[in-house]
Structure 1
Amino acid sequence: MKAKDYNAKLAKMTLDELKKEENELKAQLFKLRFQQATTAMENPTQLKFVKRDIARVKTAIKKLEIAQQAENA
């Protein structure tokens, strides 16, 4: 999925959905790191893409939290 499409998808998610997505990506990253340590990976760049997706999700979470704080203040 292209970054632009993924960011648009994240913008539509709620805070709980974003946190769930982050946990799923972290689990996927753990599996990939384990696979890298034990066997040869077919696509080692996949680690980089998962890390970037985690960063995108964390950014979206932070944006939502800041928006909620601005509404409450």
Structure 2
Amino acid sequence: MALHAKELRDKTADQLREQLADLKKEAFNLRFQQATGQLENTARMRLVRRDVARVNTILNQKAAEAAGTEA
């Protein structure tokens, strides 16, 4: 199931970093499964990669907002 940006924006930066770590672990495991020929759902790799990008984007947006309010 793909993550939705709307749900991610409601999370704190710490929660997003934790989510990002989980997604990166999952991506690593999927790559490992693919290399050993055990991966059944290849589309999951694409979804995880996009979720990582989505979380990174929202983290960057939150950082930009924080920097904008401090300046």
Q: TM-score, normalised by structure 2?
A: 0.93
Higher relative contact order (CA 8 A, sep 6+): 2
**C-alpha RMSD of the superposition:** 1.2
Stretches of 4+ aligned residues off by more than 4 angstroms: none
Structure 2 stretches of 5 or more lacking a match? none
Amino acid in the other structure paired with 1:68: A
Amino acid in the other structure paired with 1:30: F
Which residue is equivalent to 1:24? Answer: 22
Which residue is equivalent to 1:58? Answer: 56
1:35 paired with 2:33, answer: yes
Which residue is equivalent to 1:13? Answer: 11
- Change in CA separation of 1:48 and 1:19 when aligned onto 2, cut-off 3 Å: same
Q: State the identity %.
A: 35
Structure 1 stretches of 5 or more lacking a match? none
Greater per-residue helix proportion = 1
